[in-house]
Amino acid sequence: MQRFFVPPTAIQNDRVTLTGPVVHQLTHVLRLSPGQRIVVLDDSGWEYTVELQRLGRGQAEGQIVERWEAQGEPRTRLTLYQAVLKGERFAWVLQKGTELGIAAFVPLLCARNVVRDPAAVRQKLPRWQAIVREAAEQARRGRLPRLAAPLPFAEACAQAQAAGGLSLLAWEEETATSLKATLRAGLSNLQLPTSNIQLFIGPEGGFTPDEVALAQAQGIRPVSLGRRILRAETAGLVAAAIIFYELDDLS
Ligand code: SAM
């Protein structure tokens, strides 16, 4: 059954009223008719089987026939602070990161970003939001990952420190500590709660030494992803997959 994230206001008691692009998808793309069923999610952590009853121009109505707790979410809440990348690569990270289970994305503005204008980044947010939504529906996520407004590096570090949990910065110059060792330490040391992780990935030109020092001063731990240099769009996804795997969130 097809899955659709809808605004909470679309659900009143056991009635569901759909408007906007989803109606076009139901009627013209999927060509569904009354009596057929879809799954609807309101980002509450619940999923609802809905039997369609009316499909008209611009509006569709249905009845909830079943509800259950969404299963598609990792236990680990991972926020990816990913430096904004040129072209389609940032959108690609959003799509793949949503499939993996990332809970939130923060477009990062670093000193060496190629894309640095916050206004230009804000203009992309609606399209990026649609990519996240479609990826979450396809991946059977139980919740819609949050896509934040672009944030300058220093503000992002302060936000991550305030969030608590374990904050990591992937740095190719780091030689002492690997991501794996840090996660293993976190699992065995309650002072390093691994249920809530913030992960920083730099831009095409990497983090500056000043940025790394600022992050460390805020308790954000540099970690290595190995000896090979990964492209920024590769590093965020590889690190996320390693985190979910090590914390048994991919089983
Ligand atoms: N210094 C890199 C170079 O020589 O090409 C540029 C940065 S790299 C393309 C983009 C980002 O990916 C880095 O800022 C870092 O966050 C992450 N990254 C790539 N390879 C890494 C590695 N082996 N260990 C840790 N982080 C890595």
Residues 131 and 110: their CA atoms lie apart, in Å, by 23
Confirm whether 117 is domain-assigned.
yes
Which residue from 115, 114, 146, 120 is spatially nearest to 133, judged by alpha carbons? 146
C-alpha distance from residue 171 to each of 45, 85, 121, 186, 245 (Å)? 34, 17, 24, 19, 20
Same domain, 26 and 120: no
Find the range with the poorest average confidence among 41-55, 119-133, 144-158, 179-193.
179-193
Report the pLDDT value the prediction gives residue 189, as an integer from 0 to 100.
75
Q: What percent of the chain has pLDDT over 90?
A: 90
Same domain, 90 and 205: yes
Same domain, 63 and 86: no
Residues 167 and 158: their CA atoms lie apart, in Å, by 11
Rg (CA), the chain: 20
Please report, in angstroms and rounded to a whole number, the separation of the first and last CA atoms in the chain: 23
Report the pLDDT value the prediction gives residue 182, as an integer from 0 to 100.
92
Report the pLDDT value the prediction gives residue 44, as an integer from 0 to 100.
92
Q: Scanning the structure block, which residue is given the tokens 């040391």? A: 189
Same domain, 58 and 176: no
Q: Fill in the amino acid letter for 116.
A: R
Same domain, 65 and 92: no
Per-residue pLDDT tens digits for 63-74: 999 999 998 899
Same domain, 95 and 20: no
Same domain, 128 and 215: yes
Query: What is the count of structural domains for the chain?
Result: 2
Ligand 1 binding pocket includes 153 (Cβ within 6 Å): no
Report the pLDDT value the prediction gives residue 195, as an integer from 0 to 100.
87
**Confidence (pTM):** 0.94
Report CA(159)–ligand 1 centroid distance (Å). 22
Residues 138 and 156: their CA atoms lie apart, in Å, by 29
Ligand 1 binding pocket includes 121 (Cβ within 6 Å): no
Residues in Cβ contact with 12 at an 8 Å cutoff, skipping those fewer than 6 apart: none
Same domain, 92 and 166: yes
Ligand 1 binding pocket includes 229 (Cβ within 6 Å): yes
Q: Are 160 and 200 in contact (CB under 8 A)?
A: yes
Average pLDDT score over the chain: 95
Is residue 191 predicted with pLDDT exceeding 70? no
Report CA(82)–ligand 1 centroid distance (Å). 12
Query: Which of residues 49, 69, 89 is at a domain's end?
Result: 69
Q: Scanning the structure block, which residue is given the tokens 């840090």? A: 182
Find the range with the poorest average confidence among 15-19, 44-48, 85-89, 190-194.
190-194
Same domain, 139 and 230: yes
Same domain, 187 and 90: yes
Per-residue pLDDT tens digits for 121-148: 999 999 999 999 999 999 999 999 999 9
Which residue from 164, 239, 166 is spatially nearest to 201, judged by alpha carbons? 239
Same domain, 162 and 203: yes
Confirm whether 251 is domain-assigned.
no
Range of the domain at 30: 3-69
Per-residue pLDDT tens digits for 207-227: 999 999 999 999 999 999 999
**In terms of DSSP H, where are the helices of 87-231?**
89-100, 118-138, 153-163, 179-188, 209-217
Same domain, 93 and 181: yes
Report CA(203)–ligand 1 centroid distance (Å). 8
